[in-house]
Structure 1
């Protein structure tokens, strides 16, 4: 039984093989008060049961068992019941009832409900003329359904219009909820199902004027869905400028909408109730989605939601979820049955300021426009009549005098307000460009600004001010230099885990910085946002494309990892590296995990999993994995170990495998240096050019 705490989250067991006794922490619940609890009973749901009648009978038996557990403590009617991905329910209990229920031999876990954050790293921003969509295919994902658990969907965007390339899903049984702003016709095209879940979050906790329906008013769910399965070749027009075309990673896939995330009066309270999330997962599994994407953060533990995702995986669903945006050492979705996605930062785009004597000052610049020659104005010398010099120095919107700023390059100090808010202040005062200057140590960032902007570190900023003091009439030119560092790197906000859960996480990385996506708006509106939510949607679309191309879910889980491109930062931070969709179509070899193996590992029946990554503690000297030839032909494969500081040997050194044949290989690590962290890759190369790269972490 998993260790649990009735608080924000479950406390993870030190090892999945351990079976500690359950306990209930009721310190946060006063006597007589009740709270919403998520209760999981022993044994799986019906997701692995085949046949409609058999599954119905099995679900009926589970409901009888749940009734017995509820009646034993005099509990009220449950808020939710789960029988497919999970055998359990959400119910309001007082502290005493929760403690008694946790002691039942039928009960596996009792967890107090909590609100999980969405995995967007920052607020979305309006798209500027410098943005370009992420590259996307024109076709892919036909016949598949992507289930999106998020803030709902705004179906009016052209990226969700019905097209002839959308093949009907072979087996899907979702339903369409109707409301004042959502009718059944919304589920007759790209969208095949839509539901909402709010009982956990609470109707009384919603922002004013929010309707309980699948419609997205926040924008997060629409962005996620468009990146995963938006139609191909949709024109992107911003402020009258044609910026190319947009498409999701699986443009021919259908969408099933499960709205379980909501906005509160205070944005700090926005998020997704765990009870609502589990209910959405349970329904999506029963409906028969092919891919399930959750752009939601959370704890690094095998909690109720992770167990529901296990049930989804056992039912044939490929689950993709966000690593979260709290940076290194904090990871959401640690489960090996979930493809956990971190994010990469975009290219480092730079620009320069050309001074009259030929000298240059270089910083970060995203805009592709050249500016000048133009005069330079210090923002603190251009304060509006009703603004302070302090506000003007940091370019608070409305603080600048247009009579002094119009047509000029404005120098603004960093601090107090957002970087993009400063360029908006310059634009409001008719400035032509901005130089953003750090006043001390700090990053330099190529943001999406309202006017062309060059962001300078403190040293170059001081030099520019010195030159202006010597020549107040200085005129400069600003021009872009383009991307000077095209090597992918892990985004600073991207979550990553250690060895606590016994898995290497995240599994892969995907683009997560300044990603253009559709948002609510009938004529087609676009915004730019960052976060592992974007990376998760991208990966879910690629997964649907691979499933539509004929790969099985277990093969896709392996291929996404083993064909990824290593990035700087090491395996601990980046997992297998940057996802490569084209290479994932022909993996050559696969490390396959049967659905039943995950539950055996979690419940302590099996210490090993055939995952496409390896984590070894300092005490371990040998690890084993089993490879299967999925190339479709008999081939020769050779092995090697790369990137380790310790001595690592792979045996056998080479194998010849027929179609569908398998072999077990061993990774042996020298005991010397076992007190230090190390990582690298085991690489298998096929005779036809396939490369299967397995990330390995050697812990202390």
Structure 2
């Protein structure tokens, strides 16, 4: 569908990656991890799985040929006396995964071709799936968009039987350059690939086929649900009827409903769900294959890793192949910095708060609003703590624990449940089992409210409103109250406390942006017992960003991946009260951006800047710099079809003066101009100052460039 731009690298020294190479994960693959192929099992050395990167780029950079890279790998393996590798990589990067003894690891230090050595790690998926009953779905956001584009999803696989991935009329143009394959396996045949699911591959040798749970399928088939939800949000069909328990619950549609999906299963379920995750070796193999296949957008809704590790180098190869790469920042706010530190990755964090809202109204007209998607209900209300089942404590009843409610006291009533002890959705299930008609969930202390998809109509009230409503119900046990969907504006977005922020000492500003990551509806595989469910975390936000990228690529196939990345992040709107290190530019839009100004980066510049330790000076769509440096330069390009004036203002800085020169430019189509950001003010250790450069075009477009000044 488009010509790929392959940059050429002139020379490539060993990459000095420093401490960022250290893996950040939860478990190392051990001796029990076995390769599934007989050849590998027979020749693999007895040792830990080690990931080795050799100097130089993969074939995606247009510099080398695969046979030459394989010969380099063979020479290193022979020099240390290693057996056959578990994986080889030649496209996104030059390297391999192999089991090595301590002596062989030591011998690698003497190999000049080796750029980095890492142990394999297990990375977590960046989302949590809820199997709550779905009672209402949002309408499809659009019926068209994304035709001809392939979104590669590296995750836990996909459920081809879901109507979100059916081969329906109106999918539009087929991809022209995609060359993927449909790899068969348990529960997956070649017929499961269609015009919608155009590719399927799976990788388990790093995780270990003998370590997966018995319900897993050694194929691209998803049994966990995470990959299916991510794929459906990014590119699920439009206008899909959501039907649950023999009743209609609305319609669903992905962000780019005409885009195609290529599934790369590299995340697996373990016997203990706490051990679920994605082996870095499997993930890198999936990325290498996706680049070779020719996907247009690559989504990785998984976190883990620090600095520029081997996965970031593989994603660099994807960027050099002109692929828009989108990665999840992770859900480790307060304990770890955002994942995917590479500036060639669009790293997406989570926003919450902009949710569907419900209203609870008293007979005298007083009302309270909270999170929820309730249908209209009018009934008597009862405090759950006053409706305890026999031999059940008032506390257990108040928290609406399963089996704690007396059906004689809650039948056909709106039950007021307190938050705590069990999951929110489990409380509504308890109310439903006891015959309750609806639920008002109240926080007992300050905290977030949500709009989960509950088993009964539900409104979730914050602590202060919940106390007022509960006191009224206690005094009026026989009065009727009503609840309904609030027709007003949705709540105000804010960054999620659990969304990982960027490292102020890093070389680039992360995350790049945020998107809705709380109670997002997506498709589920049949193995979960549900066809639909909600999921939360930066994986949901990543899926949204990947869909937006597909919309832009379909509408403007001539635009490079770097330009698409710039358009996405500069079109975001700031979230009140959050710094750029928490939100990047802000919350991504729901529609494809239409601005005509972009910050481009040539494919060869990424690796050149990495080699010279100059990533901070790349023409990225953000600025992260020490205040003492005082100066940064960026370049903007008119990607529109007509000449246009653009002007800029600096906003939000509290302790520094930030000047931009020039303040306005006139650019013809394709013309570029440099602008300089100059900072003056105090250099205070530990102090962070930040703001936004806002470019406005004469034709109405707005381009925002966040700036964070660190110590």
Where does residue 595 of structure 1 map in the other structure?
603
Q: Does 1:9 align with 2:18?
A: no
Structure 2's unaligned 5+ residue stretches are 1-15, 31-44
Name 1:407's counterpart in structure 2: 412
Q: CA separation in 2, counterparts of 1:468 and 1:606? A: 63
Offset of 1:232 from its aligned partner? Answer: 2.0
Quote the residue 1:189 is aligned against.
195
Aligned residue runs from structure 1 range 272-351, under 5 A? 272-327=278-333, 330-347=337-354, 350-351=357-358
Q: Which residue of 1 aligns with 2:517?
A: 512
Q: What is the CA-CA distance between 1:156 and the residue it aligns to?
A: 1.3
Corresponding residue for residue 58 of structure 2: 45
Instruction: Name 2:68's counterpart in structure 1.
Output: 61
Q: Secondary structure at the match of 1:123?
A: strand
Secondary structure of 1:422's match? helix
CA distance in 1, matches of 2:244, 2:178: 37
Counterpart Cα distance in 2 of 1:688 and 1:344: 29
Match among 143, 150, 157 for residue 152 of structure 1: 157
- Classify 1:281/1:350 alpha carbon distance in 2 versus 1 (closer, same or farther; 3 Å): closer
Question: CA shift at 1:140, angstroms?
Answer: 1.8
**Aligned counterparts, 1:192-591, within 5 A:** 192-327=198-333, 330-347=337-354, 350-351=357-358, 353-355=360-362, 358=364, 360=366, 362=368, 364-374=370-380, 376-385=381-390, 387-463=392-468, 466=471, 473=478, 475-483=480-488, 486-521=491-526, 525-550=531-556, 551-568=559-576, 569-580=578-589, 582=591, 584=593, 586-591=594-599
Question: 1:95 maps to what in 2?
Answer: 102
Distance 1:79 1:279 in 2: 10
SS at match of 1:71: helix
User: Do the aligned partners of residues 467 and 192 (structure 1) sit closer, same or farther apart at CA in structure 2, a change above 3 Å counting?
Assistant: closer
Is residue 91 of structure 2 the alignment partner of residue 84 of structure 1? yes
Give the secondary-structure state (helix, strand or coil) at the position aligned to 1:72: helix
Contact 1:563–1:580 under 8 Å retained in 2: yes
Contact map agreement 2:357 2:491 (CA 8 A) in 1: no
Instruction: Give the structure 2 partner of residue 35 of structure 1.
Output: 48
Question: Matches of 1:435 and 1:476 in 2, distance apart?
Answer: 11
- Per-residue CA deviations over 1:188-243 (Å, capped at 9, x if unaligned) read 32122111100000011101132210111111111111111112222223344444
Other-structure match for 2:129: 123
**Preserved CA contact (<8 Å) 2:625 2:708:** yes
Q: Does 1:684 align with 2:695?
A: yes
After superposition, give the CA deviation of every residue in 1:460-484 in whole Å (9 maximum; x if it has no partner). Answer: 5555555566565455444554556
Q: For structure 1, which segment, 392-401 or 360-369, has the greater mean C-alpha deviation from structure 2 after superposition?
A: 360-369
Q: Which residue of 1 aligns with 2:4?
A: none
CA deviations over 1:258-303 (Å, ceiling 9, x no partner): 1000101111000100000000001111111111111111123211
Corresponding residue number in structure 2 for 1:659: 669
Of 620, 642, 649, 1:640 maps to: 649
C-alpha distance after superposition, 1:36-63 (max 9, x if no partner): 111111111111228xxxx6xx211111
Task: Answer yes or no: is the 8 Å Cα contact 1:116–1:273 preserved in 2.
Answer: yes
Counterpart CA distance in 1 for 2:257 and 2:355 is 29
Deviation at 1:558, TM superposition (A): 1.0
Shifted more, 550-559 versus 520-529: the winner is 520-529
Q: Shift of residue 506 of structure 1?
A: 1.2
Residues 275, 160 of structure 1: alpha-carbon distance in 2 compared, 3 angstrom cutoff: same
Distance 2:181 2:475 in 1: 71
Q: Give the equivalent residue in structure 2 for 1:141.
A: 146
TM-score (norm 2): 0.88
Distance in 2, Cα, partners of 1:699 & 1:152: 40
Provide the C-alpha distance between the structure 2 equivalents of 1:190 and 1:369, rounded to a whole number of angstroms. Answer: 34
Q: Take 2:352 and 2:477, find their aligned partners in 1: how far apart are those partners?
A: 38
Tell me by how many angstroms 1:587 deviates. 2.4
Output the CA distance in 2 between the equivalents of 1:535 and 1:463.
34
Contact preservation (8 Å) 2:439, 2:457: yes
Does the C-alpha gap of structure 1 residues 353 and 257 become closer, same or farther in structure 2, counting only changes over 3 Å? closer
Residue 643 to residue 453, structure 1, CA distance change in 2 (3 Å): same
* Counterpart-to-counterpart distance in 2, 1:472 and 1:244: 34
Flag the 1:459–1:246 CA change in 2: closer, same or farther, 3 A: closer
Output the CA distance in 1 between the equivalents of 2:359 and 2:701: 42
Is contact 1:9-1:112 (8 Å) kept?
Answer: no
Mean Cα deviation higher: 660-669 or 392-401: 392-401
Cα 1:435/1:90, change in 2 over 3 Å = same
| CA distance, structure 2, for counterparts of residue 413 and residue 576 of structure 1 | 36
The alignment partner of 1:510 has SS state of strand
Pairwise CA RMSD: 2.6
Shift of 1:614: 0.8
Show the counterpart of 1:13.
none
Aligned mates of 2:361, 2:178 — CA distance in 1: 60
The CA distance in 2 between the partners of 1:533 and 1:589, in whole Å, is 28
Equivalent of 2:113, from 97, 106, 110? 106
* Whole-angstrom CA distance in 2 between matches of 1:692 and 1:37: 43
| Residues 440 and 566 of structure 1, relative CA distance in 2, 3 Å threshold | closer
Contact 2:633 2:675 in 1 (8 A): yes
More off after superposition, 228-237 vs 538-547:
228-237
What is the aligned partner in structure 2 of residue 23 from structure 1? Answer: none
- Distance in 2, matches of 1:482 and 1:332, equals 37
With structure 1 as the length reference, what TM-score do the two structures score?
0.90
TM-superposed CA distance for 1:409, in Å, is 2.8
Distance in 1 of aligned mates of 2:138 and 2:501: 28
Q: Could you tell which deviates more after superposition, 607-616 or 486-495? A: 486-495
After TM superposition, give the deviation of residue 507 of structure 1 in Å: 1.0
What is the total number of aligned residue pairs between the two structures? 669
In 2, distance between residues paired with 1:588 and 1:172? 28
Whether the aligned pair in 1 keeps the contact of 2:379 and 2:412 (CA below 8 Å) is no
Secondary structure of 2:645's aligned partner: strand
Contact 1:4 1:111 in 2 (8 A): no
- The answer to which of 633-642 and 79-88 deviates more is 633-642
Residue aligning to 2:659: 649
490 and 482 in structure 1: CA distance in 2 versus 1, 3 angstrom threshold:
farther
CA contact (8 A) 2:21 2:309 kept: no
